[in-house]
Structure 1
Amino acid sequence: MADPLMVMAEDSVVKRAPRGGGGGTLGRYLVIRALLIIPTVFILVTTVFVLMRTTGDPITAALGGRLTPDQLAQRIHEAGYDRPLVAQYLDYIRGVLTGDFGTTISDNRPVIDVLKTYGLATLELVCYGLVVAFIVGIPLGMVAAYFRDKVPDAFLRVFAILCYATPVFFAGLLLKLVFSVWLGWFPVAGRASTGIELQIQLLPDKSGIYLIDAYRTGTPGAVLDVLKHAVLPAITLGLATAGIFLRLVRTNVIGTLGTDYVDAARSRGVSESRLVRKHAYRPALIPIITVIGLQIALLLSGAVLTETTFEWKGLGFQLVQYIKARDYVAVQGIVTLIAVIVAVTNFLVDILAALIDPRVRY
């Protein structure tokens, strides 16, 4: 049975620009894609707002049962949640447009501060996961194509299926059990050791990205310590995407190897390994770029479970804590930010894909 994601990717890279006057230009393509961001984000923000209100007002959800009815009513009135839903929605939209996502109920912090504090930690983890996906998925995809329909190819195809079919939390727990508990090669949890963590927190102007901050501390071994803490979370998060990349690269390298110009090179005596490395490599990367926006969404969703499993204090970890506390104001802000990031990332990926391969423009 064909993988739906692979079918989408393969279909997207064969779209050809329409013929006729003025159609298919890069400028028009970019304008259309930019304009589509507005309704996409608007729909996402509205959906999040409505879903968060299906359980009632956030004050009752978070503090119901812990306050007297009079105290609860007073808090609801002060927060403005006793007003009509339309008025609350319009205020929320105005706040989002100005960067005000409200104040958390459980710890009374501006949501924008929560996003700034923990967002970079999630960004760092996602970047690590992408590195793992590229390092594992692309070379193994080329190997699978080179050994098409042979034992290595069959093994790698099964490996790819296991990668993106295994739940992220299960993969994380398994890696912790083997490499942290049994072998003791890597730390069990956290972003850095206690001593390094304290030094990073004492920096006057922290960047929020531990790899950079560890270097700035000047402590010998600080960067290595941060990288050791990142290995297992990065592998856990990156393997699912690596499996998808492996399948895409294999499929497209095999397709490229059957083209006329590759046959011509083969007739001149060019070796099969050189054909894979030099002639089929770059065309195989186009579908990777095409679907990378979808993978960002996958990585962000996987980051929630990965951060919880490894106590990596990023947006995903905090999202779980706020859900447990029923702090729907914070949940609403974090989910909205993730939705906006996915929409903008897809736009940037569309630009990159259009610059590399004009066939994706429309």
Structure 2
Amino acid sequence: MNDTAPGVAPAKPKSEGGSGLGRYILVRFLLIIPTVFILVTLVFFLMRVVGDPISASVGGRLTEAQLQERLEDAGYLRPIWVQYFEYVGQTFTGNFGRTVTDNRLISEILLTYGAATLELALYALIVALIIGIPLGMLAAYLRDRWPDAALRIFAILCYATPVFFAGLLLKLTFSVWLGWLPLSGRAGTRVQLALGRIESPTGIYIVDALRTGNPAIIGDVLQHAVLPGLALGLLTAGVFLRLVRTNLIGTLSMDYVEAARSRGVRESRLVRKHAYKPALVPIITIMGLQIALLLGGAILTETTFEWRGLGFQLAQYLGSRDFVAVQGIVALLAVIVAVTNFIVDVVAALVDPRVRY
């Protein structure tokens, strides 16, 4: 029975789109806290399995009395649970501790070397998008033919090849044999000195190079970026290629695409105009996971190409058994990954409303 008065239109239910998006963003933001807490906890206890950081790093160079004094000053003689809660409290205030070998703040290391890792990750992401998306579209367009099979094998090789091995092959081919590109580093010595002289450098060499307006400096920075960006970008390009291919084939079988096909629309136009954008939505969703993959791969890439970023420093501290530095940098990277995933989730919700529910 309808209780609405005659002549009065029934009230429309309020749209839940805006509230759904706000609720989704709030929930995703709040999830950052337990995610970071769990990661920091795992890193702390895994590092403590090998013993206290001071004994592991410089214990062999100190007398027993000096070692005990250092342990007492650093608080490592206290119960493990006291150290844990103190470390968690410091982490959530932005204090990731000091290194044992050179007594530097971990946050200072981030500011000094984080820009280099960010720049490398951006290069790799650009390479992955440029290679993965067009080749994924081509594989979907030529599905079940020999080019499709070849591209799928290429995607598997990209993902399965260790990034350091790909880097060594690229260096051997383009630097040693052909001599086209620099062997290592972020820029030549003269260019680094020139970039250091500019006012308020960002630490991202391509940005600082563009600010100089000097084509020679810009070209040198880009030449040094090609091989590291390609080595790390191919790792993610394989994932994007297969993801775009799978989603594009699924989209091409949708009813609205079949309707357009029945009207005589060419297959190439169907791919470009009707199926391309819907197939890219999963790329945005998975991009947050790929950031973690890129940061992990950056450690090996930076070491292979002597790209002095966070990954390179992490490898150096691992070699010197400075587990305080390792613990702080890994925890810091965990925070970066968690925040990046939050941003990607929000972008995905804005692009595809289905993600919110």
Q: What TM-score, normalized by structure 1, do the two folds share? A: 0.92
Provide the C-alpha distance between the structure 1 equivalents of 2:150 and 2:215, rounded to a whole number of angstroms. Answer: 41
Q: What does the per-residue CA deviation read over 1:84-141, in whole Å, with 9 as the maximum and x for residues that have no partner?
A: 2122122212221222111111112111111110111000000000000000000000
- 1:97 paired to 2:77: no
What is the identity, as a one-letter code, of the residue corresponding to 1:293? Answer: G
- 1:226 paired to 2:210: no
Match of 1:29 in 2: 24
Match of 2:11 in 1: none
Provide the C-alpha distance between the structure 2 equivalents of 1:316 and 1:213, rounded to a whole number of angstroms. Answer: 21
Structure 1 unpaired stretches of 5+: 1-20
Local SS of the residue matching 1:221: helix
Alpha-carbon deviation of 1:349? Answer: 1.1
Match of 1:339 in 2: 334
Match of 2:195 in 1: 200
| More deviation, 23-32/222-231 | 23-32
What is the identity, as a one-letter code, of the residue corresponding to 1:49? Answer: F
Match of 1:6 in 2: none
- 1:300 paired to 2:289: no
Q: What does the per-residue CA deviation read over 1:20-46, in whole Å, with 9 as the maximum and x for residues that have no partner?
A: x97992122222211111111101111
Root-mean-square deviation (Å): 1.4
Highest relative contact order (Cα 8 Å, sep 6+), 1 or 2? 1
Match of 1:126 in 2: 121
Provide the C-alpha distance between the structure 2 equivalents of 1:32 and 1:111, rounded to a whole number of angstroms. Answer: 30
Residue among 127, 131, 134 paired with 1:136 = 131
Local SS of the residue matching 2:61: coil
Q: What does the per-residue CA deviation read over 1:135-156, in whole Å, with 9 as the maximum and x for residues that have no partner?
A: 0000000000110111111111
- 1:67 paired to 2:62: yes
Match of 2:78 in 1: 83
Match of 2:154 in 1: 159
Alpha-carbon deviation of 1:76? Answer: 1.0
Q: What TM-score, normalized by structure 2, do the two folds share? A: 0.93
Q: How many residues align?
A: 342
What is the identity, as a one-letter code, of the residue corresponding to 1:301? Answer: G
Provide the C-alpha distance between the structure 1 equivalents of 2:66 and 2:154, rounded to a whole number of angstroms. Answer: 57
| More deviation, 338-347/89-98 | 89-98
What is the identity, as a one-letter code, of the residue corresponding to 2:350? Answer: L
Local SS of the residue matching 1:329: helix
What is the identity, as a one-letter code, of the residue corresponding to 1:269? Answer: G
Q: What does the per-residue CA deviation read over 1:223-262, in whole Å, with 9 as the maximum and x for residues that have no partner?
A: 1100100000001001011111000111111111111111
Provide the C-alpha distance between the structure 2 equivalents of 1:101 and 1:40, rounded to a whole number of angstroms. Answer: 17
Identity of matched residues, %:
68
Which structure 1 residue ranges, 4+ long, deviate > 4 Å from structure 2? 21-24
Match of 1:242 in 2: 237
Provide the C-alpha distance between the structure 1 equivalents of 2:210 and 2:346, rounded to a whole number of angstroms. Answer: 33
Provide the C-alpha distance between the structure 1 equivalents of 2:163 and 2:44, rounded to a whole number of angstroms. Answer: 28
Provide the C-alpha distance between the structure 2 equivalents of 1:217 and 1:51, rounded to a whole number of angstroms. Answer: 45
Match of 1:56 in 2: 51
Q: What does the per-residue CA deviation read over 1:152-184, in whole Å, with 9 as the maximum and x for residues that have no partner?
A: 111111111111011101000000000000001
- 1:285 paired to 2:283: no
What is the identity, as a one-letter code, of the residue corresponding to 1:297? Answer: A
What is the identity, as a one-letter code, of the residue corresponding to 1:50? Answer: F
Which runs of structure 2 are paired with 1:259-338 in the superposition (5 Å)? 259-338=254-333
Q: What does the per-residue CA deviation read over 1:185-232, in whole Å, with 9 as the maximum and x for residues that have no partner?
A: 110000000100112223342211001122334444101100100000
Provide the C-alpha distance between the structure 2 equivalents of 1:75 and 1:39, rounded to a whole number of angstroms. Answer: 33
Provide the C-alpha distance between the structure 2 equivalents of 1:145 and 1:191, rounded to a whole number of angstroms. Answer: 37
Structure 2 unpaired stretches of 5+: 1-14
What is the identity, as a one-letter code, of the residue corresponding to 1:58? Answer: P
What is the identity, as a one-letter code, of the residue corresponding to 1:342? Answer: V
Provide the C-alpha distance between the structure 2 equivalents of 1:245 and 1:215, rounded to a whole number of angstroms. Answer: 30
Provide the C-alpha distance between the structure 2 equivalents of 1:85 and 1:255, rounded to a whole number of angstroms. Answer: 53
Local SS of the residue matching 2:328: helix
Structure whose CA Rg is larger: 2
Local SS of the residue matching 1:65: helix
Match of 2:169 in 1: 174
Alpha-carbon deviation of 1:357? Answer: 1.1
Provide the C-alpha distance between the structure 1 equivalents of 2:308 and 2:84, rounded to a whole number of angstroms. Answer: 30
Provide the C-alpha distance between the structure 2 equivalents of 1:179 and 1:131, rounded to a whole number of angstroms. Answer: 20
Match of 2:6 in 1: none
Match of 2:7 in 1: none
Provide the C-alpha distance between the structure 1 equivalents of 2:83 and 2:255, rounded to a whole number of angstroms. Answer: 62
Local SS of the residue matching 1:25: helix
Match of 2:109 in 1: 114
Alpha-carbon deviation of 1:78? Answer: 1.3
Local SS of the residue matching 1:355: helix
Provide the C-alpha distance between the structure 2 equivalents of 1:330 and 1:267, rounded to a whole number of angstroms. Answer: 62
Q: What does the per-residue CA deviation read over 1:275-327, in whole Å, with 9 as the maximum and x for residues that have no partner?
A: 11111110110110111111001000000000000000000000000000111
Provide the C-alpha distance between the structure 1 equivalents of 2:82 and 2:145, rounded to a whole number of angstroms. Answer: 64
